[in-house]
Amino acid sequence: MGTDEDDSALFTLGSHDVAPRPSSARTLLRQGVAAIVLVVAALVSLWVLPALLTDGPVQSEDTVLPVDGRPHTAEASAERESMIWFDETRVEPDCEIRDAASGDVLTTTTADGNDRRVLSRTGAWVGAATFSPTSDSVEVTCSEAPGFVLVSQAPGQSAGLVAIGAIILVPLTLGLAGLVLVVAVATALVQARAARRA
């Protein structure tokens, strides 16, 4: 039969709360590395995605024409709207576009200037106007000025929206996931330090 002192000791021992076991160092290390990788991936995607999801300077189906006051022929498609681009580092030329087969002047619609394609480190092709070809080629005559213009198919609106969405959402998602892991690791470290001091 135990004494009152023994019973008191047992009661006191049983009444202590068991401190929560802190996350292992290996788990925290893995979470920390994952957080760093996600943050780095978010930063890299901010640089890589715009280059991958937007058109480059010149595509194989594009036609680059000199701006020299003389008519030049460019390939086109009667099934899809086309666009004429100018070099933003040069003065925008006045251009007349005719159907190469009929000679009819094609109506152009001034673009909003939001369509851009990387040209160099200092400039870009900027969409100047759209037009609807009536045959498989057009004749472009631009006022004489230094530089060139580009004729290509007009960028699709849905494709542009998808590209913009990806450029915004992918880095944002990666960055938020990395931030959540950073907060989780920091919280676990604080709890582990508090448990050791208790």
Rounded Cα–Cα distance for residues 37 and 51 (Å): 21
Rounded Cα–Cα distance for residues 74 and 99 (Å): 10
Low-confidence residues in the chain, pLDDT < 70: 1-23, 47-61, 120-122, 156-167, 198
Q: Is 80 in contact with 153 (CB distance < 8 Å)?
A: yes
Torsion region of 49: left, alpha or beta (phi above 0 gives left; psi -120 to 50 gives alpha): alpha
Rounded Cα–Cα distance for residues 70 and 149 (Å): 13
The predicted pLDDT at position 19 comes to 45
Rounded Cα–Cα distance for residues 193 and 198 (Å): 9
Strand partners, 86: 126, 149
The predicted pLDDT at position 43 comes to 80
Tell me the CA distances in angstroms from 187 to 88, 174, 191, 192, one per residue in order.
Answer: 51, 20, 6, 9
Q: Is 0.85 surpassed by the pTM of this model?
A: no
Q: Is 126 in contact with 113 (CB distance < 8 Å)?
A: yes
Q: Checking DSSP bridges between strand 82-87 and strand 148-153, what pairing results, if any?
A: antiparallel
Residue showing tokens 């037009």? 131
Q: Which residue type is seen at 26?
A: R
**Structure token pair of residue 18:** 């068991």
pLDDT per residue as tens digits for the range 17-66: 444 444 477 777 787 788 888 888 878 777 666 655 555 544 556 889 99
The predicted pLDDT at position 22 comes to 46
